[in-house]
Amino acid sequence: MDVREIRLKNFMVHDDRTFTLPSAGVVLVTGPNGSGKSSLIEAVATCLWGKTLRGTLPWRDEAGEVSVATDIVEVLRTRKGRKTQLAFSLPDGEFHEKFDTMTKAQEALDPIVGAFKVWQRTQVFSSQDVAHFTLATDGERKRLLESILGLEQFDEALGYCRTDFRTATKGSDAKQRELAVLEERRYQIEQAVLQARETLADVAEVVNATELESKIARLRKAGIKCTEEIRACNKHLAECERVGDEADAQASVYERAFAKLGAECPTCLRPVTDQDRVTVRGKVTVLRENATESRAAVEDKLVTMRENLDELRGELETTRGRREELSRSLAVAKTKSANRASAERGLRKAETTLTEAEEALNAATVTAATFAAEAAELEACERVLGLKGVRSHVLGEALSGIEAVANGWLARIAGSGLQLSLKPYGEKKSGGVRDSISLEVTGAGGGYGYQGASGGERRRIDVALLFALAEIAGAAHGQKRGTLFFDEVLDSLDTAGVGAVVEALDELASARAVVVISHNEDLADRLAGATRIQL
């Protein structure tokens, strides 16, 4: 990410100032202590991420603003009272200003500008950070390199893996205990089944009680059917009697009407003719014939129904007799088969319980196997994500790269005398190894390595390692080359060291802007082609 312009208003020591940076080349920022040289770095951190490198509030007053224009985004962060606002626009002209919260605004900006820690580790170098890697203990050096490479993600994944592994292990142990209980239960049930079978074998064969019960049920149904048919016969007989009575009553009505016929109709006073009499007599005759036919049909059916009734009554009596006989036989059979039935029920219950126990045991076995397989997989993941897993290989590859790049820079800024080597493990006094990164330096310190080296030699080693770490970290995070900030990194170097580092800076500045912050005005002579910012 190339920083093109930084504008400050009421920010740290600056009232209102704008700094324009080139896309490539060295920019030398000089001035006395307290003049606000490092505020350029603080401005980028505050504007793009809302962070501060010094841990102090950068706002001088309640009202202020800072804007940073880069090759990928232009960001403006303002402060009014206790409220801070964030707005940014993209090169395509799309402008983002309104967000419900600062958190949402920052979440929208982070994917564009990248992670703050990555920028800090790969593009910002201060005098305090220069010797951080070399002076660290072996264990601290390893943790620092893991942080630079972003390997903390392995720690998070390892934490999840270990939590899941503990859960799976607990589940597996619980299922193993459950399996032991189920095995004991199955053994007890198997003994109960054997005992039930022995009891059943001792019981003599008896009349089949189920068959007798079935016969009685069929006879009871036949008796019920017989009774229902008798009721239907009586009901039909009553219906026949009713129809005959209605026919007789209707015929009587017509007979009386015929007897009352006179010279005229008593209703309409119309004279009654012979034809009227013939019609009435015909109707009376038809009614009598219908009544006679209906009664004859009913009487015929009644004879048949009475015959059926007699047969049904006889069958019912026979059925009742058979039922009584079978009931007595059933009572005897039930008495004789009580022990056998009890034994059979006990056997069926025991066999059912055994089946259920075996199903539960099989299910528990499958679950236990699943837990065990999951635990094995998680254990393998833990080994992969652990200290001696894949990240040890990543660290090993990174160390080789850092060592090669750092020695390349040392050859440029310190000549051919200095060499450094990084080892992923340090030796213990007991002869074992500890998980750490050791640093060894040859060609300086009279055999005492870094600790015995002169101040200038140490500074060269520090700067070479710093360049190497930045290059490796940028590659690890996919960070493209952007503006570099060196905050008083060159101030403690001797003349020869400054000259060598200046040559390195010129090489770095061929493709990017390199901002060198220093209170040493003499650097201006060494960086003759640099853009000057005097504070």
Residues 250-262 have pLDDT tens digits of: 666 655 665 655 5
Q: What is the DSSP letter of 172?
A: H
Residues 54 and 103 in one domain: yes
pLDDT at 147: 72
Whether 144 maps to a domain, the answer reads: no
Residues 404-448 have pLDDT tens digits of: 888 888 888 776 678 888 887 655 556 555 567 778 888 776 666
What is the rounded CA–CA span in Å between residue 375 and residue 165? 6
Looking at the chain, the whole-number percentage of residues with pLDDT higher than 70 is: 65
Residues 402 and 348 in one domain: no
pTM for this structure? 0.54
Whether 100 maps to a domain, the answer reads: yes
Residues 370 and 406 in one domain: no
Whether 182 maps to a domain, the answer reads: no
Q: How confident is the model at residue 43 (pLDDT cuts 50, 70, 90)?
A: very high
What is the rounded CA–CA span in Å between residue 368 and residue 376? 12
- Bridge partners of 80, per DSSP, are 63, 83
Whether 190 maps to a domain, the answer reads: no
Residues 410 and 428 in one domain: yes
Residues 357 and 470 in one domain: no
pLDDT at 474 over 50: yes
Mean pLDDT in residue range 4-11:
94
Residues 123 and 221 in one domain: no
pLDDT at 283: 72
CATH number of the domain to which 277 belongs: 1.10.287
Whether 134 maps to a domain, the answer reads: no
Residue that terminates a domain, selected from 351, 385, 419: 385
Residue that terminates a domain, selected from 328, 362, 385: 385
What is the rounded CA–CA span in Å between residue 399 and residue 433? 17
50 neighbors 77 (Cβ within 8 angstroms): yes
* Structural domains in the chain (count): 2
Residues 399 and 381 in one domain: no
Whether 158 maps to a domain, the answer reads: no
Residues 216 and 339 in one domain: yes
Q: How confident is the model at residue 469 (pLDDT cuts 50, 70, 90)?
A: confident
Residues 272 and 342 in one domain: yes
SS3 475: helix
Mean pLDDT in residue range 500-524:
82
Domain extent for 25: 3-127+388-534
526 neighbors 499 (Cβ within 8 angstroms): yes
Whether 137 maps to a domain, the answer reads: no
pLDDT at 345: 72
The mean pLDDT of the chain is 75
Residues 429-439 have pLDDT tens digits of: 565 555 677 78
Residue that terminates a domain, selected from 360, 385, 410: 385
Residues 376 and 232 in one domain: yes
CATH number of the domain to which 36 belongs: 3.40.50.300
Report long-range pairs for 233-238 (Cβ below 8 Å, ≥24 apart). 233/305, 233/306, 233/308, 233/309, 236/301, 236/302, 236/305, 237/298, 237/301, 237/302, 237/305
Half-sphere exposure of 199 (CA within 13 A, CB side): 18
Whether 217 maps to a domain, the answer reads: yes
Residues 397 and 367 in one domain: no
Residues 248 and 121 in one domain: no
